[in-house]
Amino acid sequence: MKAVVIGGGIAGLLAAHVLSESHDVVVLERDKLSDEPEYRSGVPQGRHVHGLLVRGGEILEELFPGLRAELVEAGAHLTDAGEAQLLNSVGWLAKADTGLPLLTVSRPLLETHIRRRVTAKIVDGVHVTGLSFSGSTVDGVVTRDGRVDADLVVDASGRASKLTTWLSDAGVAVPEPVVVDSRTGYATRLYTAPEDFPVVIAELAGAPDHPRGCAVMRIEGGRLMVTAQGAAGDHPSRDPEEYDRFLASLRGPLAEMLADAEPLTPIYLFARTASRRSGYESVRDWPGGLVAVGDSACSFNPVYGQGMTVAALESLLFRGHTDFSARGCHAFQKKVAKVAAEAWAMSSGADRGWTDDEPGTAQRLLGWFMKKWQAGIVHDPDLFRRFVRVVHMKATPASLMNPVVFRRLAKYSRQDPRPERRPGGSSPR
Ligand SMILES: Cc1cc2nc3c(=O)[nH]c(=O)nc-3n(C[C@H](O)[C@H](O)[C@H](O)COP(=O)(O)OP(=O)(O)OC[C@H]3O[C@@H](n4cnc5c(N)ncnc54)[C@H](O)[C@@H]3O)c2cc1C
């Protein structure tokens, strides 16, 4: 069987790698690719913090043994996930060893190292402009320069995928996507990293009172990636003075901590951050020979760092799935939706606090539970460890719904905040 994968981002590379265990696979990527890590126009989000969740890191290591060590050799940082210093609207989260390895790296370095290890053929500079059909089955793709035959087409062309339009043009009825938009804007700048700077430090925005946040990560090259984030339209600016004012307006000490860091780049913006679920799994006359993965099928508000890990989980679905008839592809799309569903529930659930929708009972309950959590994970190392496992997709959110957790949570309330600034100036711990 010959498979064509549209897009050589993380989802496309991983899908192609797993598919190539048993099929002839070619990845068609619109951008010209370099052998070295470089920002590229097809992945504008690559300039911004890309946190790889622990579960995603594990899958990458399973698919490409030794990748983690290779990345560390290239300058990435490895730490315990519990070492991340996080400030929520109650205070600094508890500190606890989790035994979970967290890798921090820029998106271009990560992608380049994955690409070097992918066994499928990658052809760059090819812009796919549509699907080719034989009856109701997809039998290839149309490109700017011609056509490529395929028994299976995998759309991994990301957030800006045209798949819905291509399907509609072919007479396939596609539902309106579900969109949850926190109206978050990103602004990122690279700095030199002062020697004792934490590997990860972040101030988390929280609906409805704290729209501003920031994530700072040590990356390769002795640099810090600083991504300021503003929800509900309260976006950080590309103007350096306004950017600094935004950082100084945060509740935590990030601006002071960055005082000795030298800016290395201009400030880059990104604001297309809405979570979007395509609903492809519910398309009844879904064609044979076609599946969609990654951001094309479901994209998430990036502040939760879920996209690459969901793409990694989805790539594993190709193992053991051999039926790419219309029925088989529809079944595959249902599996994709199931993989994305938990991540979706977590991120879009939290983001509904930013939307104007009137909360239903389930939403109010979730809001109450989240408030308890905010306090619980500040005060209680055990709850913090459980939280880390869920956020990093090592455990399901359902694992938090148990009597032990409820008993512990009952002790905490938001009226019992920790000081927002830890004593001792620049270091929050
Ligand atoms: C600002 C921002 C920050 C993010 N931060 C994180 C994070 O911290 N952690 C995390 O896990 N995820 C993060 N994500 C999400 C992450 O980037 C994606 O979920 C992940 O890379 C999987 O995306 P993908 O491969 O589906 O799409 P992409 O990575 O966007 O790749 C799509 C590829 O398809 C190519 N392409 C597009 N159209 C065509 C075409 N017609 N023909 C040929 N090629 C085409 C593009 O050039 C690109 O290479 C972030 C996203 C954004 C927007």
Lining ligand 1 with CB less than 6 A are 6-12, 28-31, 42-43, 45, 48-51, 127-128, 156-159, 186, 270, 294-296, 302, 305-309, 311
* 295 Cα: distance to centroid of ligand 1 (angstroms): 7
What Å distances lie between residue 356 and 67, 183, 234, 271, 333, CA to CA? 43, 12, 16, 19, 31
Q: At a CB cut-off of 8 Å and minimum separation 6, what does 223 contact? A: 190, 191, 192, 193, 264
Distance between CA atoms of 59 and 61, rounded to whole angstroms?
Answer: 5
Q: Which atom of ligand 1 is nearest to the CA of 42?
A: 47
Spacing, Cα 129 to ligand 1 middle (Å): 18
* CATH architecture of structural domain 185-270: 2-Layer Sandwich (3.30)
> Whole-structure pTM over 0.75, yes or no?
yes
Q: Cβ(399)–Cβ(223) under 8 Å?
A: no
Best of 5, 29, 268, 310 for a ligand 1 pocket test (most atoms within 8 Å of beta carbon): 29
Residue 272 alpha carbon, nearest atom of ligand 1: 53
Specify the pLDDT at position 372: 85
Rounded distance between C-alpha atoms, residue 229 and residue 9, angstroms: 23
Residue 357: its pLDDT value, please? 73
Name the strand (E) or helix (H) holding 192: strand 185-192
How many other C-beta atoms are found inside a 10 Å radius of the C-beta of residue 332? 25
- Rounded to the nearest angstrom, the distance between the alpha carbon of 13 and the centre of ligand 1 is 11
What does the domain layout of the chain look like in residue ranges? 2-43+118-180+274-347, 185-270
185-270 matches 2-43+118-180+274-347 in CATH topology: no
The count of C-alpha atoms lying within 13 angstroms of the C-alpha of 40, restricted to the half-sphere facing its C-beta, is: 22
Looking from the CA of residue 156, the nearest atom of ligand 1 is: 26
CATH of 2-43+118-180+274-347, one of 1.10.10.10, 3.30.70.260, 3.40.50.10210, 3.50.50.60: 3.50.50.60
Query: Which tokens is 63 given?
Result: 């698919």
Which among 157, 277, 293 is the best mutation to test ligand 1's pocket, defined by most ligand atoms within 8 Å of the CB?
A: 157
pLDDT in tens, the chain (429 residues): 999 999 999 999 999 999 999 999 999 999 999 999 999 999 999 999 999 999 999 999 999 999 999 999 999 999 999 999 999 999 999 989 999 999 999 999 999 999 999 999 999 999 999 999 999 999 999 999 999 999 999 999 999 999 999 999 999 999 999 999 999 999 999 999 999 999 999 999 998 889 999 999 999 999 999 999 999 999 999 999 999 999 999 999 999 999 999 999 999 999 999 999 999 999 999 999 999 999 999 999 999 999 999 999 999 999 989 999 999 999 999 999 999 999 999 888 889 888 877 777 777 777 777 788 899 999 999 999 999 999 999 999 889 988 999 888 888 765 455 544 443 333 444
